[in-house]
Amino acid sequence: MIRLITEIDSLMSYISKKAKGLSGGDHIAKSFKIGGSGERRFYDSCMFKGLDIKKTSSKDDINHVDFVVDGKTFDVKGLKDSHRNGLILLELKNVQGKLGWCNPSGSPEFIAFDFGLFFLCVKNSDLFNLSEECCDLDDLVSSALDCYHRGYSRRNREDLMTMVALNEVFVSCEHWILPYQEYRSPMQLL
């Protein structure tokens, strides 16, 4: 528990003041646990497959880059309830209204979504283009559960999210599947 608190404190030093004020400690701890588990599982799966993978620093993580795999940048999204339902929540703007992790800039190059048995690795710019093509972001809803092809912004935040279906990503986006495999070796840092 002490290690988790230390890691949360370290993470909090990189989270914006606005985000800190809007999220409770329990929410941050849960998000950190889901994210950390997804990153560990992704790392193990890449190592098992023989891919060249390095973990980035916490500072790079704030720029949505968790890993560099075979020279490509990746942001890993842990296993979420929406994934279990065949849906993917996309963050187009962060709490400050700046570019979210799903963006047209090409950074990170890929997003790796944890689906339990596998990771779906999707080209980020293709995800953004999909959201532009099929989502009405001006049709704002008040719940993340209702944001399929619609915009969602949390109260008192400047974020913007939407949701797309897994099958839409398969059809419209460059992607590849990475089966989950346990490996358990220390993470190599950049």
Domain ranges of the chain: 2-179
Q: What is the DSSP string of 122-169?
A: EEHHHHHHHHHHH-EEEEEES-GGG-BTEEE--TT---EEEEEEHHHH
pLDDT tens digits for range 162-176? 999 999 999 999 999
φ and ψ at residue 65, rounded to 5 degrees: -115, 110
| pTM for this predicted structure | 0.80
pLDDT tens digits for range 37-87? 889 999 999 999 999 999 998 765 567 899 999 999 999 999 888 988 999
For residue 113, which of 155, 66, 150 has the smallest C-alpha distance?
A: 66
